[in-house]
Amino acid sequence: MSASAPGATFIVLMLPFLAALIAPWLTRRLGHNAAWLLALAPAAIFIHFLGFSAEVADGGIVTGGFQWVPSYNVSFSWLIDGLSLTFALLISGIGALIILYSGGYLKGHEQLGRFFSFMLLFMGAMLGVVISDSFLMLFVYWELTSITSFLLIGFDHTREASRRAAIQALVVTGGGGLALLAGLLVIWNITGVSQVSLLLNYGDEVRASPFYLLALFLVLGGAFSKSAQFPLHFWLPNAMEAPTPVSAYLHSATMVKAGVYLLMRLNPVLGETVWWETILPVFGGATLIVGTLLAIRQTDLKLMLAYTTVSSLGLLVMLTGFGSEYAISAAVLYLVAHSLFKGGLFMVAGLIDHEAGTRDVTRLGGLRKAMPVTFIAALAGAISMAGLPPFLGFLAKEEIYYALWATDPWSLAFVAVAVVGNGLMFVIGFAVALKPFLGPEVKTPKHAHEGPVLLWLGPLTLGIAALVAALISPLTHRFISSPMASAISGEAETVTISVIPHMGPALILSLVTIAFGIVAYRMLDRLRAGMASLLKTIGWGPDRGFDQFVSGIVRLSGVVTRIVQPGRLDFYMTATFVMIAIALFAPMAWYGEWPSMPVWPADVQFHELAVFAIAFLGLGAVIYARDRLTAIVSLGVQGFAVALLFMLFGAPDLSFTQFMVETLAVVILALVMTRLKLSASDHRATRDKLIDMSVSLVCGAGFALYLLAVTQQPFNPYISDFFAAYSKIVAHGTNVVNVILVDFRGTDTLGEIAVVMVTGLAVLSLIRVSVGYAGIKIGDNDPDRREETR
């Protein structure tokens, strides 16, 4: 393990955010051509991380960072190994192409600068997720991906569908993020470490902990929501409401892969248990089948690809759950291959929509001559998606079957799932790549022609990359596949598969997949109609369930609000004091520890009794007062009696403060009450008076018992001794009380002053508003009378 130069890597991590700041300004001056300059940011990030390839390929791990909150072992730190490096290269490399593509796709859009800014923020957030070593950094970046994706999915905020999709994605992934935070805290509590690089050594301790299942379920909640695992898959296809550059980036290299990244990262810690090897394959396999079946139903090119993203994520989760050496290798190869072909195909779909005016596959055909470069890029992506040689997708599919094949029922079940899933993805891949381009030419809403270089550069580059990566598979494995598989497994792994097919069950299963895919492709229209009929028969689905859930939450909040927020101040005050009474009595009742009742002292002086008598007389005056003004003035008697007690027992400063507070309180309350239009006396019903009296007696008794309990505890003179010893030395003051208020509690005192000031301003505002309303009411239609009242 080695340390990187913290300055360089930190700047690289901040580079997308810096580029996001200047993107609007740059776009205003250069228009869509700003994409060429903005793409330099992810390109620089790609080059920076590419420099770690040799060290990581040799088994090295690079760490670095800064201490943030040392007392809590919180740092701003990063971890670069085979897993994080591969993700960083995909995020930055594909990100550069997406920025260029965005410039061409949204050329002339009045909010292009804002779009660039959001995309770069999204890129920086995802980069932070995969590079973070600190738990806190991981969570902050994790939630930032949810926030930035919300901005991107809802970019066209004038459309209700965009707003709904954005909110849905934020609710599902944001809620999962909170589950992840709780899971990380549980793991932190188990191991005592808050860095991923250190956590990887605590796998046995975590698995042996009684809190293992709690940590596992919370982490899976975060990962499954982010990577759209069934039944939380519904938000991802809806996210296609975003502009196509967002969809291409979201579905290929960024947010949806964050959950898969988390599972791969924590495989050495949470894996190798029955729970892990059951939950992940089951949910992943279900997601694979559900995603491909729903993809068959669609006619929109983006929706077809979006649902196959769901299925691909399910396949990755399923392979990660199997956890064997070959399953991990297959997951690595498929993740990289999927990033390349899915990013390219989404850009192709957007290019077709941009140049032909529609994404409906049933309204497209014969575009091969009009868009030859786009057709080549689409074909490259489809071949890799179908798992055909000589593209990287073929290597991934062969390794998948090699990893899953066994004769036991459990393995055979998942082999069948993989064959069906891959066969249906074969169908969708070629449906996207062939149906719009082959056959007779179909009249489209726009006159179709080849797009500009900014639009076809990205998909063509990714298609070539998928081809080259397979042809030079030994180098690909040395620098990408093997280091990544080693990081996921927690031990050294070597990936060796090549484009040359190997005889055996894997090849046979590949041939079966191809045959199934060809047959299903020829029956696509009938399969689509059948799925439409089936879904109509089922009716309900998770997407509708989300709407019902949100609607139920809104109705529940309305009911709760009407109960606890009826708009009556007397209700709020009663509820507040009832809760205070419960808080005072509940601990004493629960633990059965009641304070001893005080004994009346025998040496009470006459003047001390006189003070108590004054207090009781004032209390009687408050209770029996016939109007509010008399009650307010009488209430001040209690405070003055307490001030006299302070003075008698040697606390003149405190006594003076009490006199001032009580005087001001009485004056302010009197002023307020006389300026408000209130009834002269109390007209509450007897029932309300009894309730209020009971609550006040219970609260008073509770405070009395609480103070008795406090005073009966052994006195700890530590703080008193501290202030007495250091008031003169530190604050140069002999009046300890003043020193405490002004120096030791200076900020607190300033805050109290600010609170008093804000309260005074609020009271003044209420008086002005109330007097204004009273003036209108009293003055009626007489302007002179209204002005006089004001």
How do residues 154-170 score in pLDDT, each as one tens digit? 998 889 999 999 999 99
User: Tokens representing 315?
Assistant: 């396949």
DSSP β-bridge partners for residue 69 = 74
How many alpha carbons fall within 13 Å on the CB side of residue 720? Answer: 3
pLDDT at 682: 63
> Averaged over 30-41, what is the pLDDT?
94
Q: Which pLDDT score, from 0 to 100, does residue 788 have?
A: 39
pLDDT at residue 90, rounded to an integer: 95
Q: State both tokens at 53.
A: 């390839």
User: What per-residue confidence (pLDDT) applies to 654?
Assistant: 79
For the stretch 243-262, pLDDT in tens is 999 999 988 877 889 999 99
pLDDT at 618 over 90: no
Alpha carbon distance 768, 777 (integer Å): 14
pLDDT at 4: 55
Angle at which helices 524-538 and 505-522 cross, to 10°: 80
pLDDT at 105: 92
Q: Which of 204, 189, 294 is nearest to 240 (CA)?
A: 294
Residues 6+ apart with CB under 8 A from 11: none
In this prediction, residues 262-275 reach a mean pLDDT of: 94
Per-residue model confidence (pLDDT) at position 439: 86
Given a cut of 90, whether residue 617 has pLDDT beyond it is no
DSSP count for the chain of H helices, then E strands: 36, 3
Report which of residues 70 and 394 the model is more confident about.
394
Residue 445 preceded by cis peptide, ω within 30: no
C-alpha distances out from residue 75 to 124, 195, 625, Å: 18, 8, 63
Q: How far is CA 568 from CA 573, 575, 746, 765, in A?
A: 9, 11, 37, 20
List the structure tokens of 83. 């897993």
Confidence (pLDDT) at 782: 45
**What is the per-residue pLDDT for 783?**
45
Instruction: Of 180, 297, 302, give the one whose Cα is nearest residue 250.
Output: 302
Residue 764 CA to residue 784 CA, distance in Å, equals 24
CB environment 20-51: b (16+ within 10 A), e (fewer): bebbbebbeeeebebbebbbebbbbbbebbee
The pLDDT value recorded for residue 597 is: 84
Length in residues, the chain: 790
Tokens of 242: 């975003």
Q: Given this model, what pLDDT does residue 785 score?
A: 40
Instruction: Name, in order, each residue with C-beta under 8 angstroms of 342's C-beta and a sequence gap of 6 or more.
Output: 248, 251, 252, 305, 308, 309, 312, 381, 385
Q: How far is CA 345 from each of CA 104, 247, 276, 301, rounded to the nearest angstrom?
A: 16, 11, 33, 9
Region of 192 please: left (phi>0), alpha (psi -120 to 50) or beta: left
Reported confidence tier of residue 677, pLDDT bands at 50, 70, 90 = low
Report pLDDT for 417.
Answer: 95
Q: What is the pTM of this model?
A: 0.80
Predicted local distance difference test score (pLDDT) of residue 273: 93
Query: Does the pLDDT at position 195 exceed 60?
Result: yes
Please tell me whether residue 69 adopts helix, strand or coil conformation.
strand
Q: Which pLDDT does position 777 carry in this prediction?
A: 44
Nearest to 66 by CA among 11, 24, 126: 11
Residue 40, pLDDT score:
95
pLDDT tens readout for residues 420-442: 999 999 999 999 999 999 988 88
